[in-house]
Amino acid sequence: MQHRKVNEREKKIMMLKSTRKPLIVVGIVAVFLMPLFAIQVESAEQAVNIAGKQRMFTQRMLKDYAMVGMKNTFGNPDVDLKKIVNDFEDHMASLMKYTQSDEIKRSIDKIKKIWTPLKEVLNQPPEKEKAGELQKELEKLLKVSDDTTKLFAKESGKESGKTVNISGRQRMLSQRMASLYMLKVWGVNDPQFKKKLDKSMLLFKNSLDELERSSFNTTEISVLLQKVKRSFIFFEMMSRSNSKFIPTLIYKKSNDILKNMNRATQKYVATQSK
């Protein structure tokens, strides 16, 4: 009798083990599927914000790529690069799910076409020899991402959509200024470096002036814009100097601007989505 009970108990354990494997597989699949559509786009202003982040991601990935290539671990750029690559895909899928516009869907398809081969390069160990070509391809990705953001802003039909677009673009410009200088420090030759940097800085400065005059500003947004203005002084000083700035300082200052502009953009979205 005791022997039979033991056998029955063993059978139950074996059954449990056999059912555990499918559950583990389901769990693993669920984990991999979780990021998909993790960003739920629920308003036109939010769509402009998320699409605008895609522009910023193109330059942030380049900045991280250069940092990892230089073997500089400040801010864990290798971890950040992997995260942004995943976020870019997640945002792209979420925007496609949200939009009902065929024109915007075609624009997102253009993004996907450029993005697919780029993702493979970004998932490989960084090489200085590939950085120049990577920058060119990310420029193309930036252009189509910007086109998509403008379409979402236009579709919103609101002045606030334009403000969210400009505010969101400041995030991209913070990373663009940093990535350009990072490539220079790494030793990647770009004959258009000064022209690109000057153009990005001028657009950032003019856009910041426009945002400071916005009728949508709250006290909190105005405080954030003032913090950004103080951080931007570093880039103005950097552009005028012949000295070589260390990558960690560039990385930190660009992230300070990104953090505050991201918060300001979210505040613009929250104000207009009520």
DSSP E strand boundaries for the chain = none
Q: Phi and psi for 127 in degrees, rounded to 5?
A: -130, 135
Count Cβ atoms within 10 A of the Cβ of residue 192 and give its class: 0-12 exposed, 13-18 middle, 19 or more buried. Answer: exposed
Distance from C-alpha of 183 to C-alpha of 140, rounded to nearest angstrom: 17
User: Per-residue pLDDT tens for 93-106?
Assistant: 999 999 999 999 99
Burial profile 144-168: b = 16 or more Cβ within 10 angstroms, e = fewer:
bbbebbbbbbbbbeeebbbbbbbbb
Residues 6+ apart with CB under 8 A from 224: 260, 261, 263, 264, 267
Check pLDDT > 80 for residue 107. Answer: yes
Q: Would you say the pTM of this structure is higher than 0.75?
A: yes
Question: What does the DSSP assignment read for 205-259?
Answer: HHHHHHHHT-TT--HHHHHHHHHHHHHHHHHHHHHH--SPPPHHHHHHHHHHHHH
Residue 30 has pLDDT above 50, yes or no: no
The type of residue at 73 is: T
68/42: higher pLDDT? 68
Q: Say if residue 138's pLDDT is above 60.
A: yes
What whole-number distance in Å separates Cα of residue 146 and Cα of residue 54?
8
What sign has the CA pseudo-torsion 170, 173, 178, 181?
Answer: negative
pLDDT higher than 70, residue 266: yes
Inter-CA distances, 77 with 35, 40, 101, 180, Å: 21, 27, 36, 16
Confidence of residue 274 (pLDDT cuts 50, 70, 90): low
List the chain domain ranges: 41-273
Whether 90 and 138 have beta carbons less than 8 Å apart is answered as no
pLDDT given for residue 14 in this prediction: 46
What is each CA distance from 99 to 6, 41, 81, 161, 211, in whole angstroms? 60, 9, 27, 15, 27
Query: Is residue 268 within 8 Å of residue 163, measured between CB atoms?
Result: yes
Query: Does residue 6 carry a pLDDT above 60?
Result: no
Tell me the DSSP string of 65-88. Answer: HHHHHTT--TT-HHHHHHHHHHHH
